[in-house]
Amino acid sequence: MTEPSTIAIAPNITEYFQEVISDAIRARRVEATDAAATYLVSLLCSFTHPDEEAGSGFDRPLTFLLRDAMEAPPAERFRRLRALGDHSLYALGFFGTHIELRGGDRRYVSSIGSSAYTHAAAMLRTRVRPEVRTEARGERTPDVLSEMAAKFDRFASVLADVAEGTLACGARDERSVVKLYERWLKTGSSRLAGELGARGIVPTRGAGGTN
């Protein structure tokens, strides 16, 4: 699954993502705790410069990855479950339309990701107090992971808004504007339509197609 997607690099990437995540949460009217918003920011920062593991998140069927994670030793199990939840959420946010065009099922990806977060949260409940800070990516308390699981689809929509915004910010030449237009063709996003309009392109759908 490799649909091109460019993340606009700001002087301070964390501050940039904090701003766009906050905007997207407000626009989507998602009730999210500060901890969940921070989690999303950290997730995006990690995927800006993905390591080898992040780049190979979907090399195998998701059900196999979930099964292997559940069968792993406890420490490894938590890491794999968390990573599977993160990969699934990022994929739906940035590549959801691409998944559908390739015959994939968004509900399937969502169910796997939500399940992975749920199991990871359950592990933390039995091992650490909610106020304990874990080693990776900010506040990974049971409540945060449970929130990620419960609001998985809504947070995926938040990331989809971020994806559209970053794509629009990077559309400064003819080729990137064409990519912006192609994404609008797939999603019909009003935000992308507005960005195209600001560049003198008014996309419309009618009997003759899109103009």
Cα separation of 115 and 25, whole Å? 22
State residue 100's pLDDT score. 62
**Tens digit of each residue's pLDDT (9 = 90 or more) over 39-87:** 999 999 998 875 555 545 556 789 999 999 999 998 899 999 999 999 9
Half-sphere exposure of 168 (CA within 13 A, CB side): 19
Residue 120: alpha-carbon gap to chain centroid: 18
pLDDT at position 95? 84
Q: Judge whether residue 107 has pLDDT over 50.
A: yes
**106 has a pLDDT exceeding 80:** yes
Please check the confidence at residue 97 and state whether its pLDDT lies above 60: yes
108 pLDDT tier (thresholds 50, 70, 90): very high
Euclidean distance between CA atoms 56 and 16, whole angstroms = 26
Where do the domains of the chain lie? 13-170, 171-211
Q: Where are the alpha helices (DSSP H) in the chain?
A: 13-28, 34-48, 52-55, 62-71, 74-101, 106-125, 142-150, 152-169, 174-187, 190-198
Tell me which of 95 and 38 has the higher pLDDT.
Answer: 38
Whole-angstrom Cα Rg for the chain: 18
- pLDDT for residue 38: 95
Nearest to 88 by CA among 59, 57, 60: 57
Q: pLDDT band for 207, please (50, 70, 90 cuts).
A: very low
Q: How far is CA 140 from each of CA 5, 72, 126, 135, 180, rounded to the nearest angstrom?
A: 27, 20, 14, 8, 35
* pLDDT value, residue 129: 47
Q: Pick from 135-144, 179-188, 200-209 the range whose average pLDDT is largest.
A: 179-188
Characterize 24-34 residue by residue with b for buried, 16 or more Cβ atoms within 10 angstroms of its Cβ, and e for exposed: bbeeeeeebee
Q: Tell me what pLDDT residue 210 has.
A: 45
**Backbone phi and psi for residue 209, each to the nearest 5 degrees, phi listed first:** 105, -150
Cα dist from 122 to 37, 115, 141, 169, whole Å: 21, 11, 10, 39
Least confident of 34-38, 74-78, 130-134, 166-170: 130-134
DSSP 3-state assignment of 202?
Answer: coil
Q: What pLDDT band is residue 211 in, cutting at 50, 70 and 90?
A: very low
Mean pLDDT, the chain, rounded, equals 78
